[in-house]
Structure formats: C-alpha cells, structure tokens
C-alpha cells in the first residue's frame, strides 16, 4: 500500500501578523472606555444597513451596502423601500457567474477597485459580497450571483476581488457562510455533508478569502449546518473560521439570520443584522446580550472580543486611526469601461458551426433580432444584488447604434415574459410556459426577410433570483419552439443566451448553428453582445459550471437529494460536485466545465514539468508553449487538471489545480509556467482528520475544458 504523507490542519496566522502592529493596544484602550451598553451598541444594527457609532469616543456609524456586482441604491433606514434618491445610480457589472466565466482574476481585482471606489464615494464602509457559494444544483436561484462549481476557480476569483476592493478602504463581506447552496427553504433547511466534502469542496473558497484575501468580514448564512444555525455554529464559527483560518474580522449574520443570544455569542458571532422592524433594542445582540452578560451567561471578555473585531475592521479600513481614507469616485468612464471588458470577456461561444460567427457586416444587409432579452434590462433584478444602474444598454439598442447605418435590423419580439410561478414548495419560476404562435409567426417572418437571424433569449431575474429556486432547467416562454422555428426559416440563426445559471439547450443545439452564452452583462451588456457578434471582440469566456443535457444528469438531482426532505438535505454526491461527478461517472454533459470556443485557434505543445519526482513540500513547475495558430487576436484559458489514479479512497477523475488566461496575437507563441504545490494534490483523509498526499503517481492534464485534454505528464510523489 502507498505510504501516506500527512499535513495537519494548522492554525493560520498570516492575518494576525498583518493586523497587529500596535493597533491592538489602541483597540483595547477604546474598549476600556466603553460601558457595556456602548459595547453592545456596536454589535447589532440600528437601521437596515447601519450600525450605531459611539459619538463621545469618535466612533462613527458604520454603513453597509449590497452587493457583489455594484453598490446598491439607498434603502430607507427602517424598511425595505428605496429611499428615492437621485444620486445613487451606479456602475453595474455582470454578476458572479459571468465574472467567473472570464477566468481572469485580474478582472476580479479591477472590479474590486471600481466597487471600492464607488462604495467609498457613497460613504459605505462594508460592501456585502462576494457571494461565493458552490454551484451545486443548476436550480439554485442565486447561482447567477455565485461563481462556480469548482473551489479552485472560486478561490482565485474571490481572492483577487477581495484584494482589489479592500485596497480602497472598504471591507468585503464574504457570503454566505456556509452551504447556502439552494434558496428553497434557505431559512430553515439543515445541511449535512461529509467532512471530506466540506473540506474539499465547500470550504476552500472561504478559506482562501480569509487567509489569502484577508477578508475583513464574513456573513453567516440563513441555513443550518449539521443541526445548528450557521450564525451560532460552534464548529463552523469558532473551530474552523476563527481557530483554523485565523479569522480576526467581523462575523455578521445574514439579514435576520440570528436565532439566539447566548449560543451565538459563545460560538463567535459578532454582529446581528436584520430585517425585523421591531425595536432594534430587542434584537438578540442588543438588550438581551447586555442581560446575558449581567446574568453571567456570556463573559464580558466575549463581548470585548466582538467589539475588538469590529474596531479592528474599522482601523483596517481607516474609519478610525490615521491615514487618508480613499475618497472614491462614481460612474467614471474607467468604471464603465471595466464593466464593458468584464461583459466582453465573460461571453462563452458554445457553438459555431460553419464559422457563422463573427458576422461579416460588410457583406450582410439585413439581420432579424428576435427575443424579449434583446430589449430587457436586467441590472435592477435579482433582489439584494439588484443595482440602479446609471444606464443599461440593451442588445437591440447596441445593434441598432453600431450596425444600423449599414444593416437593416428587423426586430420581432418572438416570446413574451409570462408568470410561470408555482405557489408553495418554495420553488420559483418554471421553464414551461405558453408557446405564443402569434409572436413566433412574426419572428419567422422577420427571420425569412433577413440574411441572419439572432435570437436573444434565455432567462431573466424572475428565475435567477434570491429567495427562490428555479423549478426546472427549461428555457421558458416557449423559446425552444421559437428557436426551432426561426432556425427552420433561416439557416443562419445565432442564439444568444442571457442567463446566469444552467438552462437546457438539448432542443436547440442541433438546430441553431451558433450559440453564444452572454450572461447578464451588466450596464454594458448590449455593447458587449454587439461587439462579440461582429468580431470586434473575440470570445474568450469559459463555462464556470457544467452545462448538463438535463437536470437528471446533475449529481444532486440524479441522487434525489435536492431540495431535501423534512427540511434536511444530505449532500450524498459528496465530493462529486459538477465536473467531478460528470467526469468520474463518465456522463457526457451538453457542454463541459471550462469549455468555450474562440474565433481563432490555439496549439498547446511541449508540456513538461521541471522534475519527474517530487517531495511533499515541493512545488511542481509545469511549462507549456501556447500559440495562436489562427488569424485574429484572442485568448485561451489553459487549465491544469490533476488525477490520482491509484489512491486508498475514491478521487474525482480530475481536479482543477491551476489555470492561466493567455492573450495572443495571430502567430504569437508564448511559454507559460503554472505552479502547483504538491501539498495541493492532497485529499482530506477522514480517518486521520487531516490532509493526505499519498505517495505514488499523479497525472497532470493540460486542457481547454475538463473534457478536452490536450497533453499529459506523469509525475511521482515520493514517500517521505
């Protein structure tokens, strides 16, 4: 049997060193001047998005705001109504899955900078994002806000985002800690999973956010985890977050996710935020906390720790202390350009038969543009992440503006937004819905009269939304029939999917020659779509999740453990989430994780490693040469997966361990080096409660999706 090399789960101390340097004494001195009531006033909201300050000690009110892809409009202090201000229109980026689809951490960093500047301009101290829960089911209503099914991709994007944003003196709030992987029954469901799944799939994004990103705040989810609410979960909050990750910032509740005073206080919760309109003084972390201390149920030292966590974040973001705080900027051309690049780099070209795309506008005189999403604006939807965008360019507007003087654009609605909401069962919209033959006939007519037909469809925020899940993965409002009829009428049919979570494409992949997945594109959505279709921009996005043929293929659904029974859900698919399931079980998805085409093509050669044998503390340096072998500028995302073919436990067929997005001119070649720590080849060994890198052979696989492996190299990890 193979020898085991063990790595114990050590306490991470990097954050501590950074946060100490003299501030701790000042924090203690401030706390020393506070009454118990004053201390507790810093541990609960005094408005929907504010926490009271202590004037006499120079501690200002703390301002929080949603959300992950733009600074949300101002909300009334004590209810959910919008304040009706005229100065709170903001830059709106494409949401989470679109960001992850860029596979470009630099864009996540730049987004962080922009959001940080806008948050500061609006006098915010904490921006409530990024949302980094693993995409477990295609149905989760918040998939669009989250990043990926893969913990490594989540980690890389989240760390970059956090570093960018916090460099502007604003705290992130990484959410939702933990296992908020469905919206159905989110405020009551109890999630169970193996320790291995927790460690390998659901924790790494949070761990990286805290230990590498240095996240200043974390938001505890609504749900329970192994019986206890996430906001008072001793194992998650004290043992893992505080002790193992070394987190020294603020753990706040999601809005209304507190359930107790004493238990939560002892488990490590710092701050109660909420939606409840009753007197803030009655909240768990208000007068009841004062009483709990007075009755000796919560030691005053525990309260002091919480206050210290709050003050520490205030010092780090220059709310307190010296240093000139970032003043911020709002709606600059640079911000809008960042939103555009983010949308343009996110789009995934799924299919391009006969090289229908890019469209040669010099040769085309008429185009039919069909679909409700050609004219729909999406920035204002999705609930807590909704943005009052300064503007939002729809695809039809952009096509008319950019092509209108050369090309006749025949617009037809094609389908209409309908309500397909089913009462009860916590489920949201269904992909079913009426086929409107009147609208289809008009669309077919427009398609027949045009040289090219572009159907712009997909979902909207009736589906991709907080607080309910989709009922199924169907394309709603009869779009499948619409696309089939349009494609029959015009062989040059391009489908543009606007959606933030998987939808079923089985009924259209054989009919429409070209499919571009454009996500919700934020305020610059239309400009990006137009430039991608015309070839001004070459698509370079890659799927951040597996696109199944049907819902039944997807692990949680194949095993029947979504959305759970009797408010309990057991993640029986264990570590086999997303492509780990599809690749291990040899199930052919519609389009695999990491997949996306380009208008050019790339060759990848000379894949090699610096050594063939490694010790457990080594770093593998893997090199390859990539060349743009086509005739236009473009980018390829080269992905390094690792397999452990002989292991004492089941391992996924392959796991993503590194990637690089490489931009190349036509004919240009570059040597790229990817680094992987041998320690990162470990699995979580439940029998030893530790990470375990077994000695033996590993296969490094270089590809441009989890299913398209171009080169392989075997290495050996030595006994030690």
- Which are the catalytic amino acids? 254
Using CA atoms, how far apart are residues 71 and 78, in angstroms rounded to an integer? 19
- Going by DSSP bridges, is the β-strand pair 366-370/348-352 parallel, antiparallel, or unpaired? unpaired
**Residue placing its CB nearer to ligand BGC in the complex, 175 or 242:** 175
Residues 148-187 that bind ligand BGC (CB under 6 A): 175
- 69 or 175: CB nearest ligand BGC: 175
Encoded one letter per residue, x for contact with ligand BGC by CB under 6 A and - for no contact, window 66-105 reads xx--------------------------------------
Q: Output the smallest distance, CB 175 to ligand BGC, in A.
A: 5
Query: Which 37-66 positions form the footprint of ligand BGC (CB under 6 A)?
Result: 66
DSSP string, 70-103: SPPPPB-SSSSSB---SS--B-----HHHHHHHT
Q: How near is the Cβ of 480 to ligand BGC at its closest, in Å?
A: 32
CB of 145 to ligand BGC, least distance (A): 8
Q: Are strands 50-51 and 45-47 parallel, antiparallel or unpaired?
A: antiparallel
Using CB under 6 A, count the residues that bind ligand BGC. Answer: 8
Tell me how far, at minimum, the Cβ of 377 lies from ligand BGC, in Å. 21
- State the Cα–Cα distance between residues 414 and 457, nearest whole angstrom: 9
Residues 15-34 that bind ligand BGC (CB under 6 A): none
Q: Give me the least distance between CB of 79 and ligand BGC, in Å please.
A: 13
Closest to ligand BGC by CB, 466 vs 485, is 466
Q: For ligand BGC, which is the closer residue by CB, 254 or 326?
A: 254
Q: For the CA atoms of 646, 651, 657, 659, what is the dihedral angle to 10 degrees?
A: 100
Q: What are phi and psi of 76, to 5 degrees?
A: -55, 150
Q: Which of residues 337-376 bind ligand BGC (CB under 6 A)?
A: none
CA distance 656 to 649: 18
Q: Give the phi and the psi of residue 24 in degrees, each rounded to 5.
A: -60, -40
Minimal distance in Å, beta carbon 213 to ligand BGC? 18
- Map residues 652-691 to x or -, x wherever contact with ligand BGC holds by CB under 6 A: ----------------------------------------
CA distances (Å), origin 480, targets 199, 431, 433, 435, 447: 40, 10, 11, 9, 16
Q: How many angstroms separate the Cα of 193 from the Cα of each of 200, 561, 574, 582?
A: 11, 11, 7, 19
254 binds ligand BGC (CB under 6 A): yes
Nearer to ligand BGC, 467 or 584 (CB): 467
Binding mask 689-718 for ligand BGC (x = CB under 6 A): ------------------------------
Question: Cα-flanking dihedrals φ and ψ of residue 166, to 5°?
Answer: -70, -20
Spatial separation of the C-alpha atoms in residues 700 and 711, rounded to whole Å: 8
β-bridge partners, 190: 224, 568
The answer to whether 133 and 469 are in contact (CB under 8 A) is: no
Smallest CA-to-CA distance from 369 within 402, 417, 336 is with: 402
Nearest distance in Å: CB 193, ligand BGC: 20
3-class secondary structure, 584: helix
d(CA 82, CA 72): 10
Alpha helices per DSSP H over 549-648: 555-558, 579-584
Rank residues 67 and 592 by Cβ distance to ligand BGC and give the closer one: 67
Smallest gap from Cβ 318 to ligand BGC, in A, equals: 23
Strand residue runs (E) in 338-431: 348-352, 366-370, 408-412
Residue closer to ligand BGC by CB (options 122, 627) is 122
Minimum gap (Å) between residue 119 Cβ and ligand BGC? 14
- Which residue minimizes CB distance to ligand BGC? 384
Please give the Cα distance from 486 to 481 (Å, whole number).
9
Site mask for ligand BGC (CB under 6 A), range 553-592, x = bound: ----------------------------------------
Residue (of 657, 624, 620) closest to 640 by Cα position = 657
Residues 635/664, Cβ–Cβ less than 8 Å: yes
Element (H, E) at 118: helix 105-121
In the complex, least distance from residue 349 CB atom to ligand BGC, rounded to whole angstroms:
31
Q: 228-254 burial string, b = 16+ CB within 10 Å, else e? A: bbbbbbeebbbebbbebbbbbbbbbbb
In the complex with ligand BGC, which residue's Cβ is closer, 80 or 421?
Answer: 80
Instruction: Let me know if 645 is exposed, middle or buried by CB neighbors in 10 A (0-12, 13-18, 19+).
Output: exposed
Q: Which is nearer to ligand BGC, 213 or 458 (CB)?
A: 213
The nearest distance, CB 555 to ligand BGC, in angstroms, is 25
Report which of 611, 510, 595, 607 is spatially closest to residue 149, judged by C-alpha positions: 595
Q: What are the φ and ψ backbone dihedral angles of 385, each rounded to 5 degrees?
A: -95, 5
The 513-532 contact track toward ligand BGC, x by CB under 6 A, reads --------------------
Q: In sequence order, which residues have a C-beta less than 8 Å from that of residue 202 and are 6 or more positions away?
A: 134, 151, 178, 179, 193
CA dihedral angle for residue 44, residue 50, residue 54, residue 55, rounded to 10 degrees = -160
- Toward ligand BGC, which CB reaches closer, 67 or 539? 67
For ligand BGC, the closer CB: 255 or 315: 255
Measured from the CB atom, the residue of 59 and 257 that comes closer to ligand BGC is 257
**Composition of the chain by helix, strand, coil, percent to 5:** 30, 25, 50
Half-sphere exposure of 273 (CA within 13 A, CB side): 25
Binding characters for ligand BGC, 444-473, by CB under 6 A (x = yes)? ----------------------x-------
Question: Under the rule (CB under 6 A), what is the footprint of ligand BGC?
Answer: 66-67, 128, 175, 254-255, 384, 466
């Amino acid at each position: 049997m193979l020898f085991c090399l063990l790595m114990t789960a050590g306490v991470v101390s990097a954050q501590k060193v950074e946060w100490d340097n003299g501030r701790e004494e000042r924090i203690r001195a401030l706390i020393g001047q506070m009454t118990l009531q004053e201390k507790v006033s810093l541990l609960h909201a005094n408005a929907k998005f504010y926490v009271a300050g202590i004037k006499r000690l120079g501690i200002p009110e703390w301002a929080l705001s949603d959300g992950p892809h733009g600074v949300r409009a101002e909300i009334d202090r004590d209810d959910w109504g919008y304040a009706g201000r005229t100065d709170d229109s903001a830059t709106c980026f494409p949401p989470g899955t679109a960001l992850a689809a860029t596979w470009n951490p630099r864009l996540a960093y730049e987004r962080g900078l922009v959001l940080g500047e806008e948050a500061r301009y609006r006098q915010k101290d904490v921006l409530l994002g990024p949302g980094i829960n693993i995409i477990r089911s295609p149905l989760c209503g918040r998939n669009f806000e989250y990043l990926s099914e893969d913990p490594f991709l989540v980690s890389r994007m989240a760390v970059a985002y956090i570093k960018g944003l916090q460099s502007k003196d604003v705290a992130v709030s990484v959410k939702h800690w933990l296992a908020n992987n469905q919206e159905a029954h989110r405020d009551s469901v109890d999630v169970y999973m193996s320790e291995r799944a927790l460690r390998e799939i659901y924790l790494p994004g949070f761990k990286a956010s805290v230990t590498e990103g240095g996240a200043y705040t974390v938001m505890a989810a609504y749900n329970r985890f192994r019986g206890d609410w996430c906001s008072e979960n001793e194992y998650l909050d004290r043992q893992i977050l505080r002790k193992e990750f070394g987190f020294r910032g603020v753990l706040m509740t999601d809005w209304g996710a507190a359930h107790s005073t004493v238990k939560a206080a002892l488990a490590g919760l710092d701050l109660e935020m909420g939606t409840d309109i009753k007197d803030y003084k009655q909240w768990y972390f208000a007068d009841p906390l004062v009483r709990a201390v007075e009755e000796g149920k919560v030691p005053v030292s525990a309260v002091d720790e919480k206050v210290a966590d709050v003050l520490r974040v205030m010092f780090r973001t220059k709310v307190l202390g010296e240093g000139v705080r970032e003043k911020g900027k709002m709606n600059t051309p640079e911000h809008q350009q960042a939103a555009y690049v983010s949308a343009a780099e996110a789009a995934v070209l799924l299919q391009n038969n006969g090289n229908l795309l890019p469209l040669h506008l010099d040769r085309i005189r008429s185009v039919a543009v069909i679909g409700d999403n050609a004219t729909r604006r999406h920035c204002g939807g999705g609930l807590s992440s909704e943005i009052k965008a300064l503007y939002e360019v729809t695809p039809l507007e952009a096509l008319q503006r950019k092509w209108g003087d050369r090309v006749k654009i025949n617009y037809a609605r094609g389908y209409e937004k309908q309500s397909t909401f089913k009462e009860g069962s916590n489920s949201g919209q269904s992909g079913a819905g009426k086929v409107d033959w009147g609208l289809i006939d008009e669309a077919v007519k427009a398609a027949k009269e045009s040289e090219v037909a572009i159907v712009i469809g997909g979902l909207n925020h009736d589906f991709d939304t907080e607080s309910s899940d989709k009922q199924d993965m169907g394309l709603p409002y009869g779009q499948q029939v619409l696309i089939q009829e349009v494609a029959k009428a015009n062989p040059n049919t391009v489908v543009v999917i606007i959606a933030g979570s998987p939808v079923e494409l089985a009924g259209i992949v054989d009919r429409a020659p070209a499919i571009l997945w454009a996500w919700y594109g934020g305020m610059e959505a239309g400009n990006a779509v137009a430039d991608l279709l015309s070839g001004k921009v070459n698509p370079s996005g890659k799927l951040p999740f597996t696109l199944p043929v049907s819902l039944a293929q997807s692990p949680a659904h194949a095993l029947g453990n979504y959305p759970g029974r009797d408010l309990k859900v057991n993640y029986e698919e264990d570590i086999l989430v997303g492509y780990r399931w599809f690749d291990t079980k040899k199930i052919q998805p519609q389009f695999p994780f990491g997949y996306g085409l380009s208008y050019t093509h790339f060759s990848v050669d000379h894949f090699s490693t610096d050594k063939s044998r490694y010790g457990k503390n080594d770093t593998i340096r893997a090199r390859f040469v990539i060349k743009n072998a086509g005739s236009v500028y473009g980018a390829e995302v080269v992905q390094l997966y690792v397999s452990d073919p002989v292991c004492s436990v089941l391992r996924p067929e392959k796991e993503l361990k590194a990637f690089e997005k490489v931009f190349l001119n036509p004919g240009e070649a570059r040597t790229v080096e990817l680094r992987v720590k041998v320690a990162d080849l470990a699995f979580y060994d439940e029998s030893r409660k530790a990470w375990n890198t077994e000695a033996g052979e590993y296969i490094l696989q270089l590809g441009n999706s989890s299913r398209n492996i171009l080169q392989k190299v075997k290495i050996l990890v030595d006994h030690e």
